[in-house]
Amino acid sequence: GAVVSQHPSWVICKSGTSVKIECRSLDFQATTMFWYRQFPKQSLMLMATSNEGSKATYEQGVEKDKFLINHASLTLSTLTVTSAHPEDSSFYICSAQVINYGYTFGSGTRLTVV
């Protein structure tokens, strides 16, 4: 149980376009989801905390207008990278907190902006 499905697993887009990444909790309700970014050979950096039905909380240094987060239901959170540029190329991972279990992670999305 406690599975988070993340799509797409990889995406290549042109500079200036927007990309949407989805995370769905399959067998539980996730009131809170977290979005991380990971550059090669580095650790996961928390970008924002997504709360169902309210605005996301962004970590310091993360542009909220560039990384749009929507958590409209208890099973779906989306991250949209707007006007993507090559420096946005990274591995993006979502996570959800599961009561009495801990945290479960999506399988990640590798974004390449060309």
Partner 1 sequence: SQQGEEDPQALSIQEGENATMNCSYKTSINNLQWYRQNSGRGLVHLILIRSNEREKHSGRLRVTLDTSKKSSSLLITASRAADTASYFCATDAGDDKIIFGKGTRLHILP
Closest contact distance (angstroms) between CB of 31 and partner 1 is 10
Number of residues that bind partner 1 (CB under 8 A): 25
Q: Minimum Å distance from CB 36 to partner 1?
A: 8
Interaction residues for partner 1, span 51-110 (CB under 8 A): 59-60, 91, 93, 95, 97, 102-108, 110
Check residue 87 and report its DSSP letter.
G
Shortest Cβ distance from residue 4 to partner 1 (Å)?
Answer: 9
Q: Least distance from C-beta 55 to partner 1, angstroms?
A: 15
Please choose, from the candidates 68, 74, 88, 71, the residue with its C-alpha nearest in 3D space to the C-alpha of residue 25.
Answer: 74
The residue within the footprint of partner 1, chosen from 3, 44, 74, 76 (CB under 8 A), is 44
d(CA 26, CA 38): 24
Residue 8's closest CA among 113, 111, 114, 85? 111
d(CA 58, CA 10): 24
Nearest 5°: the CA angle 2, 22, 11 is: 125
Is 33:94 a contact under the CB 8 Å cutoff?
A: yes
Among 1, 14, 41, 114, binds partner 1 (CB under 8 A): 41
The residues of the shown chain that bind partner 1, judged by CB under 8 A, are 6, 32, 34, 36, 41-46, 49, 59-60, 91, 93, 95, 97, 102-108, 110
